[in-house]
């Protein structure tokens, strides 16, 4: 099993003329809230000039955001470091419909869910997800992990 990161933003770093693209960048977050990235554009890379720092979106400071698991990587390195990426589209305004069934403190026995589809509304999807440590307040952890 490998690890997955969140792709927060894709943006350009421009020259002082504000039109010439010097670097195509990816802002990525490790959901564990830590980063061990040690390549170009790491948090203490001298490449982060004040002019480039000012162009980072979402008011993120690339020289300190590693403490929250955020790292930056250029387009060429992105393609060599990751073998897969997926994008999602939030479609609430397009008739998106769903049902969620939360199971709390599952005992490991089989639970059966019955879902009746009210109408045809495009392709139908089913997912089942547990929650990893970066998604749960530490006070809620109980030291149990699923085999997947």
Positions touching another protein (CB under 8 A) are: 1-2, 4, 86, 91, 94-133, 135-136, 140-148
Neighbouring C-alpha atoms within 13 Å toward the C-beta of 148: 11
Question: To the nearest whole angstrom, how small is the minimum distance from the Cβ of residue 114 to another protein?
Answer: 6
Question: To the nearest whole angstrom, how small is the minimum distance from the Cβ of residue 28 to another protein?
Answer: 17
Question: To the nearest whole angstrom, how small is the minimum distance from the Cβ of residue 117 to another protein?
Answer: 5
- Residue closer to another protein, measured from CB, 14 or 32: 32
Secondary structure of residue 131 in the 3-state scheme: coil
Rounded CA separation 52/125 (Å): 41
Q: Evaluate whether 28 touches 7 at the Cβ level (below 8 Å).
A: yes
Rounded CA separation 52/107 (Å): 51
Question: To the nearest whole angstrom, how small is the minimum distance from the Cβ of residue 49 to another protein?
Answer: 37
Neighbouring C-alpha atoms within 13 Å toward the C-beta of 37: 31
- Residue closer to another protein, measured from CB, 4 or 51: 4
- Residue closer to another protein, measured from CB, 46 or 148: 148
Q: Return the structure tokens found at 78.
A: 């992105």
- Residue closer to another protein, measured from CB, 54 or 119: 119
């Amino acid at each position: 099993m490998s690890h997955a990161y969140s792709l927060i933003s894709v943006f350009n770093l421009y020259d002082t003329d504000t039109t010439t693209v010097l670097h195509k960048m990816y802002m990525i977050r490790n959901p564990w809230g830590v980063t061990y990235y040690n390549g170009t554009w790491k948090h203490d890379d001298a490449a982060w000039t004040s002019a480039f720092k000012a162009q980072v979106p979402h008011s993120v400071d690339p020289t300190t955001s590693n403490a929250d698991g955020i790292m930056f990587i250029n387009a060429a390195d992105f393609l060599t470091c990751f073998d897969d990426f997926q994008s999602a589209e939030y479609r609430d305004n397009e008739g998106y419909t769903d049902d969620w069934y939360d199971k709390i403190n599952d005992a490991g026995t089989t639970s059966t869910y019955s879902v009746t589809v009210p109408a045809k509304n495009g392709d139908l999807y089913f997912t089942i997800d547990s929650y990893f440590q970066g998604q749960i307040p530490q006070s809620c952890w109980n030291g149990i992990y699923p085999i997947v």
